[in-house]
Amino acid sequence: MIIRCLFFLLLCSNVAIAQKNRALDIQLLFQGQKLVLDSSYWIAQKQDSIQISTCKFYLSNIELLQDGEVVFRPTKKHFLIDISQPNSLSIDLSNKKKLVFNQFRYTLGIDSTTQVAGAMGKDLDPVNGMYWTWQSGYINCKIEGYSSHCTTRNHFFQYHLGGYQAPFSTQKTCTLLLNSQQDQWILYFDIARFLEQTDLVRLPEIMSPQAEAVRLAHIVAQLFSTKP
């Protein structure tokens, strides 16, 4: 009897640990399949061959909510997601107690308060290639690659979407459904859906805060989902 009780307590302890040590995984896709850098993809809608060489973006101010009420905020405030760095594709949401929530809220990009503070360290370090200047601030999302339709040198396109001052503010706050009872917590982003809505011939690059950056940042924000 004592052995059974000890086994039951150990089992419960293991379940509790599994509930505490949870993470949100980021999956970058191209037409529903795992995105592989520098691989060739075909967009039939545009009759265009595409390669992605860079995909980075910031997720900030993450919150878990139950019916609109915040129940958890991770200690870390800013996360640089970089497909070339596998360790960046998982956000630690471990907590000391079991959480019940049904929503996930975050900012795509860097908030204005952090922007005006200037360049910082770790994920916000300029060495990551996501910082312009003290005046323009951080790049919220960077997507680069190659298109057979681009008339630029080497058919290269680059979208550096940033800007935090009106009228060119590009950070977006998003709220998605996310159930605490799910076996896995995954945030999906299919980059093909972004490129399908982008004119790679007329506008193959954005390198500064501007109206087109605001428009494209809005498109990017709408393409994140907790369902594949």
**What is the chain's Cα-based Rg?**
20
Q: What six digits make up the tokens of 214?
A: 């605001």
Q: What is the pLDDT of residue 209?
A: 97
Residue 17 in this model has a pLDDT that exceeds 60 = no
CA proximity to 48, closest of 124, 142, 155, 133? 155
How much is the average pLDDT of 104-116? 94
Mean of the per-residue pLDDT values of the chain: 90
Which tens digits make up the pLDDT trace of 22-33? 899 999 999 999
Q: What is the pLDDT of residue 20?
A: 52
| Phi (first) and psi of residue 207, to 5 degrees | -130, 15
Alpha carbon of residue 205 to chain centroid: 20
CA distances from 31 to 10, 21, 126, 195, 210 (A): 44, 31, 32, 11, 28
d(CA 131, CA 113): 15
Give the percent of the chain with pLDDT over 70: 91
Q: What is the pLDDT of residue 1?
A: 52
Which tens digits make up the pLDDT trace of 197-208? 999 999 999 999
Give DSSP secondary structure letters for 136-147. T-BEEEEEEEEE
Indicate the range of 30-44, 58-72, 87-101 predicted with least confidence: 87-101
What ranges make up the beta strands (E) of 86-208? 90-92, 103-108, 139-147, 156-162, 172-177, 185-190, 205-206
d(CA 44, CA 48): 7
Residue 137 in this model has a pLDDT that exceeds 50 = yes
Q: What is the reported pTM? A: 0.89
Q: What six digits make up the tokens of 44?
A: 């039939």
Q: What is the pLDDT of residue 207?
A: 97
